[in-house]
Structure 1
Amino acid sequence: MTLAIDVFGLNKSFGDKHVVQDFSIQVERGRICGFLGPNGSGKTTTLRMLCGLLTPDSGRGECLGFDILAKAAEIKARTGYMTQKFSLYEDLTIAENLQFTARVHGLDRRRARVEDALHRLGLAERRGQLASALSGGWKQRLALASATLHEPELLLLDEPTAGVDPQARRSFWDEIHALSARGLTVLVSTHYMDEAERCHEIAYISYGRLIARGTAAEVVARAQIVTLRGEGPGVDRLGAEIDGRPGVDSVAPFGAALHVSGVDRTALNAALEPWKRAPFRWTEMDPTLEDVFIKLMKTSQDNFH
């Protein structure tokens, strides 16, 4: 096993807010690791520390074989970073943006690299289109082309598909898996559970702390959640009455159905006893990653105060 990332005890504070607390993680080369967690949990700060954009207040480790404290410049040179907000030049064309990126990185074979990126991401026919005229999905492709133009060893994606349609998201993830297959290590923060399930492994960060780690299946299994699915007319509107009862950890409507979860099967069934009658019906189901996500969010303590 060759590790792309191997860090221990990272801490970062801004003023009196401890944003990342004793964070440790190991990621193999060529793996896609998803970062999940509530907004403001320190996911972006963690990503930036791992690639040398931010210096941790304490902690140690290596990224791509370089010390994260002493060799940040070497790490940054080998990293591609795609921010949540489109950060290329709106008044340049697709091709001009990529040519500019190639010059910034001081790349050789600039024309060939740009042409390869245009064709690989389906941008060739739009090369002359201004970035400002692109839809969200096409901007996403351009941003990915720019972030990978210098053939990085590590790619950081900060909620890369927010606001993008499902077809564009699928195309994006197909490309990410193709890059991973060629040895690129990818760290991606996301709130989409279907995207998290497409990662080789996930890390759940709750207000600065790593509280769950593993494959999606492992994270679900370790949560030891029992989930009952309620169906019937108006069952999705019972959430307020059921939430907070003894044995109930989380309640969430899923369309016209209701998912009610807890860790104690007996207590959970007892809590639902008043509604175990017609027209409602309850069946136990395998918990989903979203069930675990909701439970972890409810049990997380915001460190803002």
Structure 2
Amino acid sequence: MSQPPGDAVVAESLVVRRGGRTVLDNIDLRIRRGSITGLLGPSGCGKTTLMRSIVGTQIVESGTVTVLGLPAGSKALRRRVGYVTQAPSIYLDLTVRDNVAYFASLYGRPPSDIVAAIETVGLSNHATKAAGQLSGGQLSRVSLASALVGNPELLVLDEPTVGLDPVLRAELWTRLREMAEAGTTLVVSSHVMDEAEQCGDLILMRGGTVLARSTPAELLARTRETNLEHAFLTLIRSSDNEKRAS
């Protein structure tokens, strides 16, 4: 199937197995360009494996993943796709600014973007500190700044708000919305359901499958619930009942 212009990511019949266990089971999904798509579900449901498949670092058993019109992991996507893992990917002997500046140089970004990225993650007061002197949560923020500075077309964030206080979380979501409005496609994983309200589209996962794909408003209407956490639980109970009945 060819990828329509409106889709940044298309996964078809995607299967990933690891250690004899099926981690992703026949996944089909589409992610719109210029959207913030929340990838939600409990720990171990396959969110990180799906994100690794999108950025091309995951070995898949079958199926396809197309990203920005190209096979996931293509060399041509390296400067177009950003990925922030849960484990910080930075140089501990460099300062915060030097880490972000290094990644900015790879993307040809100006010094002003370095300052803006560091401000976005709330590390302006630590810009001259060596990364090795920072806390775990601060290290994660340096990784995030290093991805933001590249201004990629597709940005994949694996639980980026872990370790952020409420003020920084709010500031980060403001920045992500601004990026989406400017045309960046964002895929953001979380197991915190209240963050789903920040997303335009939701992909709800459980047990390696996609339980539902909808907007927050559609999900609430479908389940007749008043908050998204209750809506997700309602979907889980409904799915379990269907499995028992079949």
Quick check: 2:109–2:150 contact (8 Å CA) kept in 1?
A: no
User: Which segments of 5 or more consecutive residues in structure 1 lack a partner in the other structure?
Assistant: 225-285
Q: Using the TM superposition, give the Cα deviation of residue 23 of structure 1 relative to its aligned residue in structure 2, in angstroms.
A: 0.7
Separation (CA, whole Å) in 1 of partners of 2:76 and 2:59: 14
Task: Give the structure 1 partner of residue 102 of structure 2.
Answer: 100
Separation (CA, whole Å) in 1 of partners of 2:42 and 2:103: 32
Q: Using the TM superposition, give the Cα deviation of residue 77 of structure 1 relative to its aligned residue in structure 2, in angstroms.
A: 3.2
Q: CA RMSD in A?
A: 2.5
Bigger Cα Rg: 1
Q: How does 1:154-193 map to 2 (within 5 A)?
A: 154-193=154-193
Q: How does 1:37-116 map to 2 (within 5 A)?
A: 37-68=41-72, 72-102=74-104, 105=106, 107-108=107-108, 111=111, 113-116=113-116
- Aligned AA for 1:166? P
Please give the TM-score of this superposition, normalised by the length of structure 1. 0.69
Separation (CA, whole Å) in 2 of partners of 1:166 and 1:116: 20
Rate the CA distance shift 1:108–1:33 in 2: closer, same or farther, 3 A. closer
- Aligned AA for 1:54? Q
Q: How does 1:207-222 map to 2 (within 5 A)?
A: 207-222=207-222
- Aligned AA for 1:75? L
Superposed CA offset, 1:240-263 (max 9, x none)? xxxxxxxxxxxxxxxxxxxxxxxx
- SS at 1:77 equivalent: coil
Superposed CA offset, 1:3-38 (max 9, x none)? 111221111000210000111111111100001112
Does residue 15 of structure 1 match 2:54? Answer: no
Does residue 295 of structure 1 match 2:238? Answer: no
Q: Using the TM superposition, give the Cα deviation of residue 168 of structure 1 relative to its aligned residue in structure 2, in angstroms.
A: 1.3
Report sequence identity in percent.
Answer: 36
Task: Give the structure 1 partner of residue 153 of structure 2.
Answer: 153
Superposed CA offset, 1:85-116 (max 9, x none)? 3332333211121233345x3x4366565345
Superposed CA offset, 1:192-219 (max 9, x none)? 2221111001001111111111101212
Separation (CA, whole Å) in 2 of partners of 1:162 and 1:98: 20
- Aligned AA for 2:97? A
Q: How does 1:18-33 map to 2 (within 5 A)?
A: 18-33=22-37
- Aligned AA for 2:192? Y
Structure with the larger helix share: 2
Quick check: 1:88–1:97 contact (8 Å CA) kept in 2?
A: yes
Please give the TM-score of this superposition, normalised by the length of structure 2. 0.84
The alignment covers a number of residue pairs equal to 236
Quick check: 1:79–1:153 contact (8 Å CA) kept in 2?
A: yes
